[in-house]
């Protein structure tokens, strides 16, 4: 799902195929390496053919993350849990007016991000332009928003602190889910482990836990 979603949005820059395993590289906010391997032998066959310095691995399973931690110098890890929306329709109604974001919103969204070190403004702007986005404005101020990530995952969900507990995040989610379903795609989200609020939110909509996935950056 994530690999096909990513390469529906970005071109393949390079790839390696060894028997039944593969490594595919593409660039969104940075160059990402997507692995298709089912065991350590296959993984080794791929890794020995590439330069691992500052390599970024996209959405790898726990056994790959653990292998990288044991055998290479890891700079950062973003452990997430993937949730998938199992329905073809959304039965909830949003309680607020929701509209698409505009490119000029990127700086505002970045200024309120908890992930400034890994999410540059140009990536936010590109996703607004090319992905699905939802925003709520009150008195002309953008107070809540969501955007799909480079692989199509629902993300960037945020509500300004003084506007929380008013159902704004719920309305954003309903709008985004509806937009994804209209494209005949399956809504899904990768939620950073420990981020309890969005985890509870997706579960209220009936999202089902799928599996853990990790974004890994090497030194």
**CA torsion 97→103→109→114, rounded to 10°?**
130
DSSP result, 71-89: HS-EEEEEEEEEEE---SS
- With a CB cutoff of 8 Å and minimum separation 6, the contacts of 81 are 190, 191, 193, 199, 209, 210, 211, 212, 213
Question: Would strands 21-27 and 14-18 be described as parallel, antiparallel, or unpaired?
Answer: antiparallel
Cross-strand pairs, 188:
84
The pTM score is: 0.92
As a whole number of angstroms, the distance between CA 52 and CA 56 comes to 9
Longest dimension (CA), the chain: 58
Complete domains list, the chain, with CATH = 2-79 (no CATH), 103-186 (3.40.630.30)
Per-residue pLDDT of the chain (219 residues; tens, 9 = 90+): 668 899 999 999 999 999 889 999 999 999 999 999 999 999 999 999 999 999 999 999 999 999 999 999 999 999 999 999 999 888 888 899 999 999 999 999 999 999 998 899 999 999 999 999 999 999 999 999 999 999 999 999 999 999 999 999 999 999 999 999 999 999 999 999 998 989 999 999 999 999 999 999 999
């Amino acid at each position: 799902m994530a690999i096909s979603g990513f390469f529906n949005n970005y071109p393949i820059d390079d790839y390696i195929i060894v028997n039944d395993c593969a490594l595919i590289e593409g660039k969104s906010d940075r160059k990402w390496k997507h692995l298709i391997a089912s065991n350590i032998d296959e993984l080794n066959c791929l890794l020995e053919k590439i330069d691992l310095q500052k390599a970024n691995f996209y959405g790898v399973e726990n056994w790959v993350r653990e292998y990288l931690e044991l055998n290479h110098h890891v700079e950062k890890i973003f452990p997430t849990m993937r949730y998938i929306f199992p329905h073809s329709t959304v039965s909830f109604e949003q309680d607020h007016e929701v509209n698409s974001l505009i490119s000029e919103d990127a700086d505002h969204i970045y200024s309120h991000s908890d992930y400034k070190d890994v999410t540059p403004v140009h990536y936010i702007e590109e996703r607004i332009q090319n992905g699905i986005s939802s925003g709520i404005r009150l008195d002309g101020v953008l107070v809540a928003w969501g955007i799909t990530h480079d692989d199509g995952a629902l993300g960037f969900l945020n509500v300004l602190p003084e506007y929380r507990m008013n159902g704004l995040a719920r309305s954003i989610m309903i709008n985004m889910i509806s937009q994804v379903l209209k494209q005949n795609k399956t809504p899904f989200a990768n939620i950073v482990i420990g981020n309890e609020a969005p985890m509870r939110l997706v579960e209220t909509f009936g999202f089902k836990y799928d599996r853990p996935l990790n974004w890994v950056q090497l030194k």
